[in-house]
Amino acid sequence: MSGFLIYASYINAPGPRYFQNRFLRLFPGLLFVTIGGAVVALTAHGAGELVSRFPTYASWFVAQTTLGQAYNPALFRDVGVGVINGSLWTITTEIIFYFAVPVIVKLERRVRHAILIFTAFSFAIYVVGPIFLTQPVVRDKTVFDVLGLTPIVWGWMFGIGMLAVKHFDLVRCTMRWLPLAIAPLIFLAWLGAEGNPFVGAAGNRIGLFYFASYIALVIWLAFGTPFVRLSFDLSYGTYVWHMPVINLLLVLAVPNFAFAVVVTLGMACVSWFFVERPALQLKRQSLKPIEKSHQIRDEGDASDARNA
């Protein structure tokens, strides 16, 4: 979804406006949830720790709000599940992709099939990386683990989205058949095949065919069903807040799933109405209609970090 939305956004509004819009969509909510994560840690360890361990908290805070979302100090490993907000590692990949898009667009002017080459190269790394890129780099992290924080590994997913924009006429011609993708999707989910790069359907290592079936349904829901305008978007808030909420409930010894869902949605509402929406009102529109009856929208682009 990021590949689709962000690529289309840049094509329609290259230059400073593109980067301004990306910042306004991502950073305010990220800053808000990072403060929330610090509150969770201080709830577990006591407020006095902010003074005694200030350098650790400061470095973690800077990392969380820049490109170091995967950084998790040993200080936090006894809090909840052991990571304050582990799902945010995909934000790192997302931000790097934001900067990669202008480079890819410029490269397209010189190399006709630049996106296809980028997609194929990324998928090749995705396939062979766990086998050949196993050299340790930092502690127990391998070369492939480090590359897994970048679009080098996940770029094939972004690439398929970009290709869908470039060939949307073809996508539109097959729209009526896309719902049939539910059949192979169910079969592959049942099959499991965890870790298989072609048919896998478990964890982050989902397979190419599973992904293709899944994204076919997403595209059909986006463009093949009636458009419904919503006055709110809780996707990003739900994504970034669910783990801090779960950790807080574990710290408070209240491991209740239903309560976690309610609190997460509540924080997503606070994030949307008091942080994200005011920031988005500063944006200038960067996407145009892709066809008369459908419009690509970039209000929800940051929610695509969930893909990884």
Query: Structural domain boundaries of the chain?
Result: 2-95+162-307
- Look at residue 285 in the predicted model and tell me its pLDDT: 63
One-letter amino acid at 59 equals S
- Under 8 Å CB-to-CB from 98, ≥6 apart: which residues? 6, 19, 22
Q: Contact at 8 Å (CB) between 158 and 5? A: no
pLDDT above 70: percentage of residues in the chain: 92
The helix (run of H) or strand (run of E) holding residue 16 is: helix 16-45
- Under 8 Å CB-to-CB from 178, ≥6 apart: which residues? 216, 217, 219, 220, 224
Please state the pTM of the whole predicted model: 0.87
C-alpha 297/C-alpha 6 separation (Å) is 10
At 194, the pLDDT band (50, 70, 90 cuts) reads confident
pLDDT (tens digit per residue) in 4-40? 999 999 998 888 999 999 999 999 999 999 999 999 9
| First-residue to last-residue Cα distance in the chain | 11
- In this model, does residue 286 exceed pLDDT 80? no
pLDDT (tens digit per residue) in 292-303? 334 444 444 444
